[in-house]
Amino acid sequence: MYKLFKPTKKISSKLKKALIENPHWILNDFEILDQLITSEKNKTNGNIVDLRDIFLKKTKSKLEDLSKLHTHTISAAYENFLGASNLHRCIIKILEQKNLEKLIDILTTDIIKILQCSVIILLFSGKEKVVLNNPYFINIKNEEIKKIMRSAKLTKKKLTRLKSNSTELYTKKILNESSPKIYSEAMLSLCTYSEDYNSILILGSSSKNFFNEKNKTDYLDILAKVISIQLRNHISALK
Amino acid sequence: MYKLFKPTKKISSKLKKALIENPHWILNDFEILDQLITSEKNKTNGNIVDLRDIFLKKTKSKLEDLSKLHTHTISAAYENFLGASNLHRCIIKILEQKNLEKLIDILTTDIIKILQCSVIILLFSGKEKVVLNNPYFINIKNEEIKKIMRSAKLTKKKLTRLKSNSTELYTKKILNESSPKIYSEAMLSLCTYSEDYNSILILGSSSKNFFNEKNKTDYLDILAKVISIQLRNHISALK
């Protein structure tokens, strides 16, 4: 057997006989056919001599492209699912918190981890100041929060804005030197369910592509709504 | 060796490897080439005249197969997304309701439509009877609800049970003749967030495969948790 498969110049007569009796071995095997055609091409210095060759080359590259695309689609579907299941973990954790302090705590501990962010800040401006023992809950003036919302083009319908242009990041202005470097940020409007206050949630990431403007914001919009509802519930319970 | 050359349907992997490493065995052998082209010709009414044609034909069919597969993957991803986006619509609607009556109303109107169910029933057993003006909110005895939970094997960890065996459906027992016919049902435990009462949500579908035992319950589990949290909030507000 060894001899039969030795890289000899010519095919052994036994193997030849077998191949002639079983042409489908080769004809049904894509890889062998591919190899035969590639070697034949190399022999002729790769010069394309036939329209079929051109078509062949194109079909082959189309096949490769589609294979790649297919793999990407599978991986995108998987990431979508992973994204949905992480979003659901966040929603349940947010709903489980029974007061404002606990809500802010969970945002700056568990939620920041699930979302793989570097920083979460909640800007708040109500009729009365709300004092919490958490440095990431920041009371600011109503005019200032309205200015931020205008420049970020946040409205009742557009709840999320992503930004990856590092010179324009809001987190740059409020975080100090020792904070983690932020290269992209998401701003979520939390005003959907109340007129009594204005509030913005800012998520910052150390990766430039994490909150890229081109990304979809469907999941962050849901998160904004869920946090808005809970914020309204907890704020009204303070009164 | 004998085995390698047996007239099997497929080429042995050893022989395949040898041919791929020595394509000249075939390419330099006129008789084998002739045999390959003749057999392929016979298959296709003699139209194929070149190895490239054979390869092309195979590439094309492979391309078509992959295209089909790709389309299926995209559609599965889309369905998953549709599922997630409907779940999110339900979650937001549920959270928006400010009291128990409104929660039950939204379940039996909007949520039933989004989930494409035929019926939604909430079974409830608390220390005190809760009276609502909604026929789908049903007070039952504590022993009875516990019996249902045991037979459905619902626990704190297993929140959802699907059933498509029409003789065992719980909805059969409580719905009257004029109600829509139910062929599968989902039971969701709503006891996750309180020890003060027992509660089960039942979704019924007119399609046998809608709540098939083989389906995943990830999204219904999330729904059960969200409704549980809101039920606890609204029940405690009644006191």
Query: A53-97: per-residue pLDDT in tens?
Result: 666 777 777 778 878 877 777 666 666 666 888 999 999 999 999
Total CB pairs under 8 A between chain A and B: 175
Over 50: is that where the pLDDT of B2 sits? no
pLDDT at B82: 63
Going by the DSSP 8-state scheme, the letter that residue B119 receives in this structure is E
pLDDT band at B68 (very low <50, low <70, confident <90, very high): confident
Digit-coded pLDDT (tens) for B140-162? 999 999 999 999 999 888 999 99
ipTM for the complex shown: 0.71
**Least-confidence region, from A14-28, A189-203, B220-234:** A14-28
Over 70: is that where the pLDDT of B77 sits? no
Q: Which residues pair with A199 in a beta bridge?
A: A124
* Ordered DSSP codes for B24-92: HHHHT-HHHHHHHHHHHHHHTTT---SHHHHHHHHHHHHHHHHHHHHHHHHHHHHHHHHHHHHHHHHHH
Residues in B touching A230 (Cβ below 8 Å): 95
Would the CB atoms of A22 and B32 count as touching at under 8 Å? no
Would the CB atoms of B21 and A7 count as touching at under 8 Å? yes
Share of chain A above pLDDT 70, in %: 87
Would the CB atoms of A59 and B59 count as touching at under 8 Å? yes
Over 70: is that where the pLDDT of B79 sits? no
pLDDT at A55: 65
Chain B residue at shortest CA distance from A84: B84
**Least-confidence region, from A80-84, A105-109, A138-142:** A80-84
Chain A CB within 8 Å of residue B49 CB: no
- Which residue type, as a one-letter code, is found at position B15? L
pLDDT band at A101 (very low <50, low <70, confident <90, very high): very high
**For range B55-79, the mean pLDDT:** 73
- Cα-based distances in Å from A166 to A171, A230, B149, B227: 10, 31, 54, 41
**For range A148-168, the mean pLDDT:** 91
Over 70: is that where the pLDDT of A3 sits? no
Cα B9 versus chain centre, distance = 38
Residues 89-118 on A with a CB inside 8 Å of B are 91-92, 95-96
To the nearest whole number, what is the mean pLDDT of chain B?
Answer: 86
pLDDT band at B70 (very low <50, low <70, confident <90, very high): confident
Chain A CB within 8 Å of residue B226 CB: yes
CATH class belonging to B98-238:
alpha beta
Share of chain B above pLDDT 70, in %: 90
CATH code matching the domain that covers A97-238, chosen among 1.10.10.10, 2.40.30.10, 3.30.450.40, 3.40.640.10: 3.30.450.40
**Least-confidence region, from A189-193, B67-71, B92-96:** B67-71
Over 80: is that where the pLDDT of A136 sits? yes
What is the least distance, in Å, from the CA of A174 to any CA of chain B?
A: 32
Exposure string of B83-122, with b = 16+ CB inside 10 Å and e = fewer, is ebeebbebbbbbbebeebeebbbbbbeebbeebebbbbbb
Q: Which residue has the higher pLDDT, A185 or B77?
A: A185
What is the least distance, in Å, from the CA of B16 to any CA of chain A?
A: 7
Q: Which residue has the higher pLDDT, A228 or B69?
A: A228
Over 60: is that where the pLDDT of A47 sits? no
Q: Alpha-carbon dihedral of residues A79, A83, A88, A91, nearest 10 degrees?
A: 180
Q: Which residue has the higher pLDDT, B141 or B70?
A: B141
Q: Which residue has the higher pLDDT, A139 or B10?
A: A139
Would the CB atoms of A80 and B85 count as touching at under 8 Å? no
Digit-coded pLDDT (tens) for B16-52? 999 988 888 888 787 888 778 777 766 666 555 577 7
**For range A206-233, the mean pLDDT:** 92
- Of the candidates B63, B86, B133, B159, the residue with the CA atom closest to the CA atom of residue A66: B63
**Least-confidence region, from A3-7, A58-62, B1-5, B226-230:** B1-5
Chain B CB within 8 Å of residue A73 CB: yes
Chain A CB within 8 Å of residue B4 CB: yes
Over 90: is that where the pLDDT of B173 sits? no
Question: Given the DSSP bridges, would you call strands B119-126 and B197-205 parallel, antiparallel or unpaired?
Answer: antiparallel
Domain segments of chain A as ranges: 15-44, 97-238
Phi, psi (rounded to 5 degrees) for A190: -110, 25
